[in-house]
Each structure stands twice: as C-alpha cells, then as structure tokens.
Amino acid sequence: MIRLAVSRTPTWLTLAPGVRVQVRPVTTALVLAARHAAGIADGQLPEGEPPARVGERIATFAKTLARLAILSWDGIGDAEGRPLPVTPDAVEAVMDLYPLAEAFVAGYLAPLEALATEKKT
C-alpha cells in the first residue's frame, strides 16, 4: 500500500545554517520539466557522455527544479549583505553553490524518494 503523505502546501527546506527556502509542493510536472530541460530521459542520464557534460546536465536539472519550486527564502543576500529577492538569476546563483544545490535537490525530492521506497516494500 502507498500512503499519500506528500504535502500539498508550500514548505520550508533548510539548505545550510541560516539559509532556508520556501518551496511549492513537489509534483510530477515540476520534476519532469526539470528532467526535460536537462535532457534526462526516464530519470537516466545518457550513457557514454563525458563527465563534464553529465555534470552540466545535473546542474541544469537542479537549477530548473529550483527556479520552478522556490517561492521565497531567508538568509540569502548580495555582496553587501542586503536580502536578495527570489529571481531566476538569483536562484541560479544559489544553485551554483554545490552544497546548497545538493541540499536543495535531496531535500526537495525526499518525499518522492520516500514514496518510491514505500512502493518497493
């Protein structure tokens, strides 16, 4: 049995101490749109690609997913420390910071991973 416990309201994800993002609910449409932008078919990267190209696809996936999902944030500012508004360029700049991108993707997709794990049992 699969229990549908995925939130349908925006939630907050902590990406690092003092840095959090409010995200819209994770949906099939958002994930598929990000996969499409990155050229990832069926959740799989093309075989035999050079490592740099694979990295570019994964980064494109993270950036696209973040642009589609992030509604607001706390703890993200410009070089002078002034809070930055959520814009596509600002989201991409945040996702260029690998630890934050990794935390975002893992945290945002966690409900789907839990659902997939439950499905296998």
26 in a structural domain: yes
- pLDDT confidence of residue 116: 54
The pTM of the full predicted model, rounded to 2 decimals, is 0.83
pLDDT in tens, 78-104: 999 999 999 999 999 999 999 999 999
Rounded-to-10 torsion of CA 106, 107, 109, 112: 120
Q: Give the model's confidence band at 41: pLDDT under 50 very low, under 70 low, under 90 confident, else very high.
A: confident
- What is the count of structural domains for the chain? 1
Q: Would residue 94 count as lying in a domain?
A: yes
Instruction: Please report which confidence band the pLDDT of residue 34 belongs to, taking 50, 70 and 90 as the band edges.
Output: very high
Average pLDDT of the segment spanning 25-49: 85
Decide if 1 is inside a domain. Answer: no
In a domain, 89, yes or no: yes
Domain span at 105 = 11-120
Classify residue 20: in a domain, yes or no: yes
pLDDT at 1: 53
Instruction: Note every long-range contact of 84-87, with CB atoms under 8 Å and residues 24 or more positions apart, other chains counting.
Output: none
- The reply to whether 98 falls in a domain is yes
pLDDT mean over 36-41: 84
